Amino acid sequence: MTMTCREFRERALELGDAGVQLDAELRAHLDTCDACRAVAAELEAIASAARSLGPRPVPADAWPRLTLALGRAGVRAPVQEAPVRWTGTWLAVAASLILTLGAALWVVARGPVVPPGGDEAGSAAEAPTSSELVASIESELQLAAAHYEKAIAGLEQVATASDAPLDPEVMATLRENLKVIDTAIDDSRLALRREPENRVAQESLFEAFRRKIGLLQDTIALMNEMRKGDEMGAARAVESLNKS
């Protein structure tokens, strides 16, 4: 049966994440599908943006704290950090971009958090002071934010290119909503500066981060969808209609 574009993307994502070469079926689809070739070319730009991020430097104290957090959650931590690997597959890169950000945020999220009700036995001696916690949160948030901004800049560069598949009004809407989420992030950060251990502020911050990641994922997915068929022409057609 002929592979559909959706099936292609799902397969490519699975294979790409493992760094496996496209198989014959996937290549056959690419050979016959202008849309998916266009998507591949488009997302390669995202890959470039993602590569420009460079390796994510993990704070020296992050791994012990991550291990500790995993231990509290009953999860056995891996022995060492998995190396960052960029595959040649655009979908994998896009996914890795998101996962990198997500992992970074998770480290940020789990690291400085002190469980409500106090520390567990045995960890009190290692517990950082309140001022250290604040400094740690700020430091790691700034680092995560920097990666965010680079990622967003890369996405925007692709989305606002002359032949980008997204309608300007749609892109404006996405930007407005990213600002809404940014406001939530700013609110939560401000609250955490005042009350670093406040659970609502912590959850709100990372919920906002997750939403932002989700919106970026949606943006990528939307671009993919718009590439199906003659989307470039469609995008221009929509622009033309909107200006009428």
Partner 1 sequence: MITAPFTFIVATSVAAASQLGPIAPPARPLAYVVPPLVAHGWEGPYEDGKGPAQVEKSWKTFTVSGDTTVTVGNFVGNVTVTGGPGNEVKLEIVKRAWGKDEAEAKRQLEAARVSVNQHTGRLEIRSMPGGPKHRIAIDFSLVVPAGANLEVNSMVGDLKITGVKGEVRAETVSGSVEASGLAGLVALKAVTGDVKLWSSASASEVAANSVSGNVMLKGVKARSLTCSTVSGSVTVANGAAERAVVRSVNGDVELVGGLTEGGRYELKSHAGDIRLVLDGKVGFQLEANTFNGDIVSELALTGVARTSSGDRYMKRKALHGTFGDGSAQVDVSSFNGSVQVIKVKKVAK
Positions in the binding site for partner 1 (CB under 8 A): 1-2, 4, 6, 32, 167, 169-170, 173-174, 176-177, 180-181, 183-184, 187-188, 191, 198-201, 203-204, 207-208, 211, 215, 218, 222, 225-226, 228-231, 233-238, 240-241, 244
How remote is the C-alpha of 238 from its chain's centroid?
A: 29
Q: Find the shortest distance in angstroms from Cβ 219 to partner 1.
A: 9
Q: Measured from the CB of residue 73, what is the shortest distance to partner 1 in angstroms?
A: 18
- Amino acid at site 19: G
Q: Which parts of the chain fold into alpha helices (H)?
A: 5-17, 24-32, 34-51, 62-72, 90-110, 130-159, 168-194, 199-226, 231-243
| Closer by beta carbon to partner 1, 13 or else 222 | 222
Q: What angle do CA 19, 20, 23 make, to 5 degrees?
A: 150
- The tokens for 177 are 């909503």
In whole angstroms, the minimum distance from the beta carbon of 211 to partner 1 comes to 6
Shorter beta-carbon distance to partner 1: residue 31 or 60: 31
Query: Closest separation between CB of residue 137 and partner 1, Å?
Result: 16
Which of 91/235 has CB closer to partner 1?
235
d(CA 14, CA 142): 32
Q: Do 109 and 202 meet the contact criterion of CB atoms below 8 Å apart?
A: yes
| CB closer to partner 1, 61 vs 169 | 169
Residue from 176, 111, 105 nearest 142 by CA: 105
Query: Residue 42 CA to chain centroid, in angstroms?
Result: 18
**How far is the C-alpha of 158 from the C-alpha of 40, rounded, in Å?**
12
Q: How far is the CB of 178 from partner 1 (least distance, A)?
A: 9
Choice between 87 and 204, CB closer to partner 1: 204
Quote the least distance from Cβ 36 to partner 1, whole Å. 14
| CB nearer partner 1, residue 70 or residue 234 | 234
Structure tokens at 214: 């989700």
